[in-house]
């Protein structure tokens, strides 16, 4: 899956001279926690997050009253607190690469570019949606996890056995196993009961059923 299919397109943005107060109101209105910052030429120059706004606000120990705090926040500009060294990703990049970058760099969003043009933004929330869809979490069915030998044909054996009994696979996710000789696979299948599914799996060689549930 490529990023352009799951990103938020034409994201809401702010300009560098917007105040902290305006930016916070915009985030609240649009129910977002990340905003790209574009200059007057629509060039991406930064990113600002709700966390940045919180850090910019006076601490609870301040001696300023609420009117003084409000005044200061209306004078403070986005350009003063935004992240200027922005990590971006191309719209044709794959979703898992975006997830890897966000994990490695500890960031909650990536502006999505088409050349020098901002065309979207992908956030940790977007990746959660991908995760939910990948595991078929909104589908009814039997979910089971297998440990299988790391060699060709293992998934084919399972899918063929399920299909012969009328089972339809609605999701399949694989991951590394406990050692290099094994791979872990999580299926969700409809059209079969838990008991029928378990009986099918137990009849397949070199496969270990780790978990099964409806």
User: Which residue has 């059209």 as its token pair?
Assistant: 191
Per the CB < 8 A criterion, the answer to whether 48 and 32 are in contact is: no
Task: Show Cβ contacts of residue 139 under 8 Å, excluding neighbours closer than 6 positions.
Answer: 170, 171, 188, 190
Which residues share a beta bridge with 122? 110
Measured CA to CA, the distance from residue 44 to residue 81 in angstroms comes to 15
**Which secondary structure element, helix H or strand E, spans residue 26, and what is its range?**
helix 20-30
Measured at the alpha carbon of residue 199, what is the angle toward residues 197 and 204, in degrees to the nearest 5?
100
Task: Show Cβ contacts of residue 177 under 8 Å, excluding neighbours closer than 6 positions.
Answer: 147, 148, 150, 183, 184
- Taken in order of first residue, the domains within the chain and their CATH numbers are 3-130 (3.10.580.10), 135-213 (3.30.70.260)
The full length of the chain comes to: 214
Per the CB < 8 A criterion, the answer to whether 11 and 120 are in contact is: yes
- For residue 72, the model assigns a pLDDT of 62
Segment 162-214, tens digit of pLDDT: 999 999 999 999 999 999 899 999 999 999 999 999 999 999 988 999 999 99
Q: If DSSP codes are grouped into helix, strand and coil, which group holds residue 212?
A: strand
Q: In this structure, what token pair is assigned to residue 153? A: 């044909």
Positions in the chain whose pLDDT score sits under 50: 59-65
CA atoms within a 13 Å half-sphere pointing along the CA-CB vector of 49: 14
Tell me the longest C-alpha to C-alpha distance in the chain.
73
Of 43, 6, 20, 4, the closest CA to residue 125 belongs to 6
**Predicted model pTM:** 0.78
Measured CA to CA, the distance from residue 42 to residue 117 in angstroms comes to 8
Task: Show Cβ contacts of residue 137 under 8 Å, excluding neighbours closer than 6 positions.
Answer: none
Which residues share a beta bridge with 120? 9, 112
Q: In this structure, what token pair is assigned to residue 194? A: 């838990």
């Amino acid at each position: 899956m490529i990023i352009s299919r799951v990103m938020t397109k034409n994201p809401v943005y702010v300009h560098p001279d917007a105040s902290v107060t305006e930016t916070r109101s915009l985030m609240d209105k649009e129910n977002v926690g990340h905003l790209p910052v574009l200059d007057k030429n629509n060039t991406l120059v930064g990113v600002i997050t709700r966390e940045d706004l919180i850090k910019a606000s006076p601490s609870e120990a301040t001696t300023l009253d609420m009117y003084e705090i409000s005044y200061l926040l209306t004078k403070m500009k986005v350009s003063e607190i935004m992240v200027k060294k922005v990590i971006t990703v191309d719209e044709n990049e794959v979703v898992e690469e975006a997830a890897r970058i966000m994990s490695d760099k500890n960031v909650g969003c990536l502006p999505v570019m088409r050349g020098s043009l901002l065309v979207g933004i992908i956030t940790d929330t977007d990746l959660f949606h991908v995760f939910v869809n990948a595991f078929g979490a909104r589908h009814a069915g039997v979910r089971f996890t297998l440990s299988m030998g790391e060699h060709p044909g293992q998934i084919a054996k399972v899918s063929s056995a399920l299909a012969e009994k009328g089972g339809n696979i609605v999701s399949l996710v694989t991951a590394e196993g406990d050692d290099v000789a094994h791979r872990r696979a999580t299926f969700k299948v409809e059209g079969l009961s838990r008991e029928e599914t378990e009986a099918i799996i137990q009849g397949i060689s070199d496969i270990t059923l780790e978990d099964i549930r409806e």
